[in-house]
Amino acid sequence: MEGTRCAEWPVYASTRIDTKSGDVGYQQR
Taking the model in full, what pTM does it have?
A: 0.14
Cα(4)–Cα(19) distance, integer angstroms: 21
Q: Whole-number mean pLDDT of the chain? A: 55
d(CA 18, CA 3): 20
Beta-carbon contacts of 2 under 8 Å, excluding residues fewer than 6 positions away, are 29
Please compute the mean of the pLDDT values over residues 3-17 and round it to a whole number: 57
Confidence of residue 29 (pLDDT cuts 50, 70, 90): very low
